[in-house]
Amino acid sequence: MPSKFETQLEHAKLDAMKELAYGASHEINNPLANIAARAQTLMRDEALPDRRLALEAIHQQAMRAHEMISDLMLFARPPALDVQKVDLSKLLSTVADRYKSECARRDIRLNLTLPSTPLEIPGDEQQLEVALRAVCSNAIEAVGTDGSIGVAVSSDSQADDRVIIQITDTGVGMSDEVRQHLFDPFYSGREAGRGLGFGMSKCWRIVTDHGGSINVSSSLGEGTTISLQLPADFLSDGE
């Protein structure tokens, strides 16, 4: 479990990264759009098959980079929250349903534990779903095959104004190095059986924008538990 200082340091690092990401995205996006447009223009007038294939490859790679920049922009400056009442039981059921077939294909048992009464919080349902899908997808990658994933939501027993969503997996766990980079954009932890990519970066941004926090408990060979703590009385300031 990271110390309070380590958590603050991680948040400061990510805050600095999001400002860098915003500036870099603006600078890189324009040349990429120009490359993609020029490649398309040249393709229209190109008759030689080999040259058309080369131009198509240029266009595809430029668009791939553009999609990565779009993810970077979402991390740096996500859209303003559309705060409404969110039924967490319904939201988690929707997310779990999305991964049922994938879990069945991998022989992963997906266990959903929900409260007996509705648990509602103010939040942006669409963005919270993106955050939860990132954690669940990460858990599936970590398990691989023949394991289990538990998804549960409850009120915080130590704070009435907070709720906790826990996603626990029986995967390979994370080393200290992977844990330190868990929320870094573009970091790849595939050597630990966990393809991090950009999902967890977006998850961190969405949760913190909701006034929440993320706790991670993991060690190699013992699986991982990721806890999303969200305020039950969060109100957006519209920024």
The string of pLDDT tens digits covering residues 191-237 is 444 444 577 888 888 999 999 999 999 988 889 999 999 998 755 44
Measured distance CA(87)–CA(93) in Å, rounded: 10
Q: How many CA atoms lie within 13 A of 111 on its CB side?
A: 12
User: What's the predicted TM-score (pTM) here?
Assistant: 0.73
pLDDT, averaged across the chain? 83
Q: What is the DSSP letter of 155?
A: E
pLDDT in tens, 129-180: 999 999 999 899 899 999 999 999 988 666 678 899 999 999 989 888 888 8
> Do the Cβ atoms of 134 and 200 come closer than 8 Å?
yes
Nearest partner of 73 among 32, 40, 122, 12, judged by Cα: 32
Question: Starting at the edge strand that comes first in sequence, how are the strands of the sheet with 108-113 ordered?
Answer: 108-113, 147-155, 162-169, 224-231, 213-218
